[in-house]
C-alpha cells in the first residue's frame, strides 16, 4: 500500500475514533432528569377547614417527564429514605409546560386530627423524578419546611 493511501486512512480511523469516543462521553454523562425550583409549604388546619402540605418543582428531561414521587418526613425521625423506597410513595401531579419540562405539584390535605399526630419542627421532603425513557434523579432532601401548631 502506498504512503498516500495509508496516511489518510490512519487519519480517518483516528478521527472516527475521536467522534465515537466523544459521543460515548456525552451519552454516559446523562444524569437523569433535572429538578429545579423545588419548594415545600405547610399550612396548618384551622377550625374552619383543612390545611395542606404542598411541594412544587419544575422537572425536565430531554425525553420528557414520567413522574415525580414525593415523601415528607420529620427530620427528627432520621428516616432517610432510599431511591428504591421512593418508588412506592405518592406521586405528584405533573403538567407539561413544554416537550421536555413539567410543573409538578404534590398536595396532601391535613385535617386537625392529622395535624395533632404530626411531629412539630423541621421536616424534609425527598423526591424521585423519572423521565419518560426511565432515567431517574433521587434527591433525598429536596426541600424542608416547618410544622407548627
- Phi-psi region for residue 24, left (φ > 0), alpha (ψ -120 to 50) or beta? alpha
Residue 13: is its pLDDT beyond 70?
Answer: no
Cell numbers given for 46: 384551622
pLDDT for position 11: 44
- Tell me the domain boundaries of the chain: 1-30, 34-147
Grid cell, residue 11, equals: 487519519
Distance separating alpha carbons of residues 67 and 88, to the nearest angstrom:
12
Grid cell for residue 68: 415525580
Closest CA to 31 of 135, 148, 145, 121: 135
The domain made up of 34-147 has a fold known as Immunoglobulin-like (2.60.40)
pLDDT digits 0-9 by tens, 36-54: 999 999 999 999 999 999 9
The grid cell for 33 is: 432528569
Q: Is the pTM of this model over 0.75?
A: yes
Element housing 93 (H / E): strand 93-96
DSSP state of 82: -
Give the confidence band of 31 by pLDDT, cuts at 50, 70, 90. Answer: confident
- The model's pLDDT over 95-144, given as tens digits with 9 standing for 90+, comes to 999 999 999 999 999 999 999 999 999 999 999 999 999 999 999 999 99
pLDDT at residue 122 in the model = 97
**Are 142 and 126 spatial neighbours (Cβ–Cβ below 8 Å)?**
yes
**Neighbour order of strands in the sheet with 136-147:** 65-74, 121-131, 136-147
> What SS3 state is found at 137?
strand
Amino acid at each position: 500500500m502506498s504512503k498516500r493511501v495509508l496516511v489518510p486512512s490512519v487519519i480517518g480511523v483516528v478521527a472516527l475514533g475521536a467522534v465515537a469516543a466523544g459521543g460515548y462521553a456525552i451519552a454516559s454523562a446523562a444524569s437523569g432528569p433535572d429538578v429545579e425550583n423545588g419548594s415545600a409549604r405547610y399550612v396548618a388546619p384551622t377550625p374552619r377547614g383543612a390545611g395542606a402540605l404542598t411541594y412544587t418543582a419544575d422537572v425536565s428531561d430531554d425525553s420528557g417527564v414520567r413522574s415525580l414521587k414525593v415523601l415528607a418526613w420529620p427530620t427528627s425521625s432520621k428516616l432517610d429514605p432510599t431511591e428504591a423506597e421512593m418508588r412506592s410513595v405518592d406521586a405528584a401531579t405533573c403538567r407539561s409546560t413544554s416537550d421536555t419540562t413539567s410543573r409538578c405539584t404534590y398536595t396532601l390535605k391535613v385535617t386537625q386530627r392529622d395535624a395533632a399526630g404530626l411531629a412539630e419542627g423541621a421536616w424534609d421532603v425527598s423526591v424521585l423524578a423519572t423521565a419518560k425513557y426511565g432515567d431517574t434523579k433521587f434527591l433525598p432532601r429536596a426541600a424542608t419546611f416547618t410544622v407548627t401548631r
